[in-house]
Amino acid sequence: MREKALRTLSVTYLLLPNLIFYYSWVNVPVAIAGLLILLYLAKEEWFDQSYKSIRVLAAKDFIVLGAATFVLTVISGINGYVFQNIDYWAHNTKFYELLTLPWPIRIPQDGPLVAYYYGFYIIPAFLSQLTGSVNELFIFLWTWLGLLWAMAWVYLALNRKIIFTLLVLCIGDLPYVLKSFLSLFSIRLYDYGTFGIESWSNFENLLWVPNQFIPAVLIGGMFVYSLTRGIHLDTLVLPIALSFWWAVFPSFIGGLFVGGLIVHEWFLKGFKLDWLRVTNKVILPFLICVPVLLFFLSNDGKVVSGFLWQFDLDLANTGLEYIVNIGINAMLFLLAYFWFKNMQLPFLAQLPFYFLILLELLLPIYRLGEVNDLLFRGMMPLLIIAGIYMFYPLTVFSWDKTWAIVRTSRFGIFLLILLMSSSLFGISRLVRAGKVNRFTEMNEAGNASFKPIPYDAYDNVYELLQDRWSQEAAEQYMGSKDSFYDKYLAP
């Protein structure tokens, strides 16, 4: 596959649900404007020469990536082949309500909107409507395709080394490995509060939110690939903007990261810019996010939000939690980066890395969402980028040459062990999937004792959240009939 084709397929994959958003979620004038902008951007994308027609993926690469992402799709819990986290009650209910209820979804039908990011679910639900029931084949293929395009960018950024491509997904879990080890000796580093000040690796997030994993990994992988190829960062604004309907927080933080670097470049140029390019690459993609943002903001301020010190917390314990879960990862990333640089191994650009660390340190200070979704999900693209930064120096040369450099330093070996140990938590998840699934977990009668979560247990996500979580959780995604969106944008 050629570089240009991979870019086109990735953008088209993110684009399709946005077309449906403008067709079904807004009134006619806004729909016409939004669809025209999207079609114009698609046309500009087609003729853009930033991504060349050079071959980047051979048949053997597709076989490797296809097999790896097929396994990841199964392990994610999609279709209930293996263990499913409790979030699949929500995922499966969303597929069902999109199949059975008019779009946009209101609960009740003449009530407020459900202000949720449905991007991932829309295409399988649309295709399921053609068959009259939730179609698991469409769901699986849609997920598999998304994982394939997303992981392809990470694979290319890491010089086609599949082991490191998979290891990147586990970066961020070192604090969990440390806490799990200490728990064997009944040692707890801090007391757990009502919400976490921690980040999960992208692999762990895959098992909870595959809908957000796909755009987060795609953004992160495409960013570093652009760095290695010298492609202008403004080409990333469109995929980030299209991801907003898929995953609010990964898109927002990814946009903040890339946007900061773009503005820095504009500043260095004295803001003497090609304004036609700025319009096509930045302003128009930003504009297509505005109706989606207003849709999300229609929840009438019911979302839990505020700085950490605005909540009733033990600040000493909170500080310790921050140091363990955020500080350890940041320190590891800094030490590894400077060590690679000192050993004269190839390393990636410094400014994005420093900005990345700054965002990782500042992001936990503000809580948004009942379970701190801004941190848990917003950190996803940052950890993908950090992971590629960590493993990139090990993928440029042959393993023999790289190991000859690394083994001369005991400290370097120690850092490498720490980076690799982040995958231990992921390995435990693989073991769980191997034990708890439809095929190996049998009861005494020889029937599968593992039961996947049903799609139609609830009529809609509001009833689900109200029953299995809390009234506050159910209200979190409910819009208001007095919102700007409902008054001026809703169909």
Q: For residue 106, list its beta bridge partners.
A: 113
The percentage of residues in the chain with a pLDDT greater than 70, rounded to a whole number, is 98
pLDDT, greater one: 145 or 318? 145
Q: Is the CB of residue 336 less than 8 Å from the CB of residue 390?
A: yes
Rounded to whole angstroms, what are the CA distances from 439 to 86, 284, 368, 436, 451? 20, 49, 39, 8, 11
For 305, phi then psi, to 5°, come to -155, 155
pLDDT in tens, 287-315: 999 999 999 988 766 677 889 888 878 88
pLDDT in tens, 400-457: 888 888 888 888 899 999 999 999 999 999 999 998 988 886 655 556 678 899 999 9
When mean pLDDT is compared across 65-69, 372-376, 399-403, 408-412, the lowest value belongs to 399-403
The whole-number pLDDT of residue 182 equals: 92
The whole-number pLDDT of residue 449 equals: 75
When mean pLDDT is compared across 118-122, 291-295, 484-488, the lowest value belongs to 484-488
* Total length of the chain: 491
For 205, phi then psi, to 5°, come to -65, -30
Tokens 């409902």 — which residue?
Answer: 486
When mean pLDDT is compared across 50-64, 238-252, 296-310, 312-326, the lowest value belongs to 296-310
For 478, phi then psi, to 5°, come to -85, 130
Cα separation, 390 vs 374, in Å, equals 24
Cα separation, 57 vs 156, in Å, equals 8
Cα separation, 289 vs 217, in Å, equals 20
Fill in the DSSP letter of residue 432: H
Fill in the DSSP letter of residue 102: P
Q: Give the 3-state secondary structure of residue 314.
A: coil
The whole-number pLDDT of residue 385 equals: 97
Residues with Cβ within 8 Å of residue 297, at least 6 apart in sequence: 115, 483, 484, 485
Q: Is the CB of residue 106 less than 8 Å from the CB of residue 460?
A: no
Peptide bond between residue 215 and the one before it cis (omega within 30 degrees of 0): no
For 206, phi then psi, to 5°, come to -55, -35
The whole-number pLDDT of residue 374 equals: 92
Burial (Cβ within 10 Å: 0-12, 13-18, ≥19) of residue 253: buried
Cα separation, 191 vs 206, in Å, equals 26
The whole-number pLDDT of residue 32 equals: 96
Q: Find the DSSP H helices in 246-314.
A: 248-268, 275-278, 284-296
When mean pLDDT is compared across 106-115, 238-247, 269-278, 437-446, the lowest value belongs to 437-446
Buried b (16+ CB within 10 A) or exposed e, 76-109: bbbbbbbbbeeebbbbbbbbbbbbbeebbbbbee
- Mean pLDDT score of the chain: 91
**What token pair was written down for 379?**
């950190």
The whole-number pLDDT of residue 300 equals: 66
For 480, phi then psi, to 5°, come to -120, 140
Task: Identify residue 238 by its one-letter amino acid code.
Answer: L
What would the mean pLDDT of 99-125 be, rounded to a whole number? Answer: 89
Q: Is the CB of residue 114 less than 8 Å from the CB of residue 296?
A: no
Cα separation, 60 vs 435, in Å, equals 30
Cα separation, 28 vs 36, in Å, equals 12
The whole-number pLDDT of residue 231 equals: 94
Buried b (16+ CB within 10 A) or exposed e, 193-227: eebbbbbbbbbbbbbbbbbbbbbbbbbbbbbbbbb
Q: Is the CB of residue 474 less than 8 Å from the CB of residue 466?
A: yes
The percentage of residues in the chain with a pLDDT greater than 90, rounded to a whole number, is 68
For 341, phi then psi, to 5°, come to -65, -45
Q: Is the CB of residue 426 less than 8 Å from the CB of residue 169?
A: yes
Tokens 């990139």 — which residue?
Answer: 392
The whole-number pLDDT of residue 441 equals: 64
Q: For residue 442, list its beta bridge partners.
A: 448
The model's confidence at residue 114, banded by pLDDT at 50, 70 and 90, is confident
Residues with Cβ within 8 Å of residue 39, at least 6 apart in sequence: none
Cα separation, 37 vs 125, in Å, equals 25
**What token pair was written down for 146?**
């998304």
The whole-number pLDDT of residue 305 equals: 82
DSSP string, 337-391: HHHHHHTT-----HHHHHHHHHHHHHGGGEEESTT-HHHHHHHHHHHHHHHHHHH
Q: Is the CB of residue 159 less than 8 Å from the CB of residue 20?
A: no
Burial (Cβ within 10 Å: 0-12, 13-18, ≥19) of residue 118: buried
pTM above 0.85, yes or no: yes
pLDDT in tens, 149-205: 999 999 999 999 999 999 999 999 999 999 999 988 989 988 887 788 899 999 999
pLDDT in tens, 466-479: 888 887 777 778 88
